[in-house]
Amino acid sequence: MGLTTRLNLPYPELSDRIDVAGDIRRLAERIDTLGTVGPQGDTGAQGPQGPDGPQGDAGGPQGAQGPQGATGPQGDAGPQGATGDTGSQGPQGTQGPQGPQGTQGPQGATGSAGATPAIFGGSGGSNLGASSTHYVGVGVTNTNEAVSQVPAPRSGTLGNLYVKLGNSPGTGKSYAFTVRVGGSDQTITITVSDSATTGSDTSHTVSVAAGDLICIKSAPTGTPTAVTMNWSMTYTS
């Protein structure tokens, strides 16, 4: 167009540099070189994913807790745990019922032989009284029991009294002999009568303690012949 326009600017040094007409001409020439707009091209391939954006703001307030869910299935058993410490002993239980009787055991070994009984006794030393009670010890016969008493040497059992007279008492006459311990009659007794000269009592025994005083009491019946006597007993301790 050949039109040149100058602007009157407050800065004269810039007015020469702004050429509006020239700028328009050059713009028109550039537009002439451009063709018409072509059709829409195909969509290009998707570009790579961009980086994550920043964390968004938290949403609204937390909702109410939901209902209890159903119980899940039984899980597998876990491994065996270590053995725990031994507990304290429990209280004594009640006694159980009587068990059945067991079978008889074998025969036991034969025990050692028991002690052999000692012989305890002696002679009266003098005649028995024909009309009064006498007490016979060891080597003494006396109407005073204390004189004739013999102390037991140890605890034990007396038995098997045996009496032998120097002569028989005579027809219809007798002597009754009774063991006395501590001044009391015991169950060991013998009666020798008529023509007999011996007698024994093997059925009765008496227990004595060490130091008990022992003697034989002689009681005549029918004024027998005055005789001597010997006596003996077994002494088992």
- The model's pLDDT over 2-23, given as tens digits with 9 standing for 90+, comes to 444 454 555 555 445 556 667 6
- 106 part of a folded domain: no
How far apart are alpha carbons 181 and 204 in whole angstroms? Answer: 14
- 80 part of a folded domain: no
**One domain for residues 127 and 222:** yes
How far apart are alpha carbons 196 and 140 in whole angstroms? Answer: 23
- 58 part of a folded domain: no
Q: What is the pLDDT of residue 3?
A: 46
| Residue given tokens 């009681």 in the structure block | 219
| Residue given tokens 């009157």 in the structure block | 8
How far apart are alpha carbons 225 and 213 in whole angstroms? Answer: 28
Rg (CA), the chain: 73
User: Looking at the chain, how many residues does it have?
Assistant: 237
- 145 part of a folded domain: yes
CATH of the domain at 188: 2.60.120.40
| Angle formed at CA 191 by CA 185 and CA 193, multiple of 5 degrees | 150
Q: CA end-to-end span of the chain, whole Å? A: 173
Give Cα separations from 226 to 42, 77, 129, 132, 172 (angstroms): 174, 110, 6, 11, 14
- 9 part of a folded domain: yes
Q: 33 falls in which pLDDT band (50, 70, 90)?
A: low
Spatial contact of 176 and 191, defined as CB atoms under 8 Å apart: yes
Q: Strand 170-181 and strand 213-221: pairing?
A: antiparallel
- 173 part of a folded domain: yes
Between 212 and 124, name the one with better pLDDT: 212
Q: What is the pLDDT of residue 35?
A: 59
- 49 part of a folded domain: no
- 92 part of a folded domain: no
**Domain span holding position 220:** 118-236
Name the nearest CA neighbour of 125 among 225, 198, 231, 199. 231
How far apart are alpha carbons 103 and 30 in whole angstroms? Answer: 135
Question: What's the mean pLDDT in 62-70?
Answer: 86
Q: What is the pLDDT of residue 37?
A: 64
Number of domains in the chain: 2
Q: Is the pLDDT of residue 226 over 60?
A: yes
Q: Is the pLDDT of residue 176 over 50?
A: yes
Query: Please, which residues bridge with residue 219 across strands?
Result: 176
